[in-house]
Amino acid sequence: MDQSVCNGIPYSETGYFSQLVLDFLAEHPHIRSFYSYSPLKADTDALVQAKKTQPRQREVLVQVLREQYAALDTPAAVQQHISLLEQPDTFTVCTAHQPNIFTGYLYFVYKILQAIRLAGDLQQQHPQYRFVPVYYMGSEDNDLDELGSIYLDGKTLTWATSQQGAVGRMRPEGLDALIGQVQQQLGYGVYAEELVQLLRKAYLEHDNIQQATLFLVNALFGRYGLVVLIPDHPLLKKQLVPVMKDELWHQTSHKLVGDTIQQLSRHYKVQANPREINLFYLTDQARERIVKEGEHWKVLHSSLTFTAAELEQELEAHPERFSPNVILRGLLQETILPNIAFIGGGGEIAYWLELQSLFAHYRVPYPMLVLRNSFLLVDALSKTRLQKLGLCIRHLFGKVDDVVNNFVRQHTNASLVLKKEYDIIEQLFDGLEEKARSIDVTLVASVAAERKRVMKSIGKVEHKFLRAEKKKFAWQIAQIEQLRLRLFPAGSLQERKENFMPWYIHEGPAFFDRILAHMQPLTDELRIIYEQ
């Protein structure tokens, strides 16, 4: 049996997932009360029935989507799904992400494909309903440091722009040069030129980043029927006006989420802390916090100040100027979408766990939370190296030094672990300690100190043995280090660093099909995908 081949590794054995995520998947008693549905088994009927109780403005959603897609070459599958959203028995499976330039990280692709796969699986299991996969674009995020860079072949490429505010509203100025750098960094591939031209069309022929991202995602995933929604629209935000009024006047979310955090923090690190007012004021050039000062509301870092009457008038006339932060963003999403399941990464799951009482307060059904799939893509060369080393890929999950040391210990003919010697010394000092106690009890401490010193010395000898033996495995160690660097860039999970393009230029759309075929939407394992 080829021991290098492994199809899945439990998240708990990878060392890359927080205890909160592991307990979430295991439905641990410490955390189970903070979410409504099992993350590994979809209770679809319960989810659907809960969502049916919520007042819904489906016609507004469809109107906005048709407006947003008006200038695009929209695949028939997307058009059909948009039309289906008007029907009362149609529900969505949603994932959300910011409009990182050129899609950012590999997990952006994984989240979207997982939404597509889960919607398809639910459709097969429950033909009486319709399920539509949705990418909900977090285009109001203003973290350009995070959204404006891409990692390719060991190099970080960054968009040089002085623009501020919501990244989705930024103009794609200067991206022509960055696309040129991407092309150079990618090198040759059968689909390389086609992909670069797609990037140019997306980013150089659209007015802003959110429109460019809509075009790009539609071009890449539209054939699967994926619907992209940009929530930065007055008709959509108008549906959240009652919540935003309550937030501005009464700061309800601060207390509700604060109480939940107090309970969560007994066992876990808190992901997101609520502010007194969890709304920003949004313009094309800025996204700034709203704070209350006495009887007035002020927009930080600006001259804008509102009385109660002025603020209410502004909110009613221009709801698009009010932008929810992470605490209220989910409420907007679940208010405008007929959504039953939300797919997110570990950080997203962590902050969603803070929100259940907030959803209950506003009578918005809380969705099923699904941890996004994680994969390790193993190329043919890496697989061959693993086979030559006789190394199982699961052994690569860990610190490089630990991987190397374990390999040497397993393959050496020398006895590098001095367990027998440790046992002999322990027995010797046990006897010395007993003798010391019979002579003078104060001598016991001296014997204990000597035991510690000798054990430390033996540890140094053991380390020297290992270091000397490692020299005999120089080429194997070099191979292991190269494997780690190739499969775990910068010591991170591949998906948290790499972009999809190095794979896409060689495989084209078949790359997405390959990932989709390995998708297990509800799982507690990291999946390994080998190049054929």
DSSP 306-332: E-HHHHHHHHHH-GGGEEE-HHHHHHH
Query: Any idea where the domains of the chain sit in the sequence?
Result: 44-69+77-82+91-233+329-370, 239-324, 399-491
pLDDT for the residue numbered 416 = 47
pTM of the entire predicted model: 0.89
- The single-letter code of the amino acid at 273 is N
Any idea which fold 44-69+77-82+91-233+329-370 has?
Answer: Rossmann fold (3.40.50)
pLDDT for the residue numbered 224 = 98
* Distance in angstroms (rounded) separating the CA atoms of residues 495 and 376: 8
Pair type for strands 8-10 and 90-97: unpaired
> For every residue of 190-258, which 3-state class applies, written as one string?
CCHHHHHHHHHHHHHCCCCHHHHHHHHHHHHHHHHCCEEECCCCHHHHHHHHHHHHHHHHHCHHHHHHH
Measured CA angle at 18 (ends 15, 23), to 5 deg:
110
Low-confidence spans in the chain with pLDDT less than 70: 1-6, 408, 411-422, 459, 461-463, 465-472
* Distance in angstroms (rounded) separating the CA atoms of residues 332 and 244: 10
* Distance in angstroms (rounded) separating the CA atoms of residues 495 and 493: 6
Contact criterion met (CB below 8 Å) for 462 and 416? yes
pLDDT for the residue numbered 459 = 65
Most distant CA pair in the chain: distance in Å? 94
pLDDT for the residue numbered 373 = 97
Sequence-distant (≥ 6) Cβ neighbours of residue 489 within 8 angstroms: 151, 154, 497, 498
pLDDT for the residue numbered 474 = 76
The total of other beta-carbon atoms located within 10 Å of residue 210's CB is 25
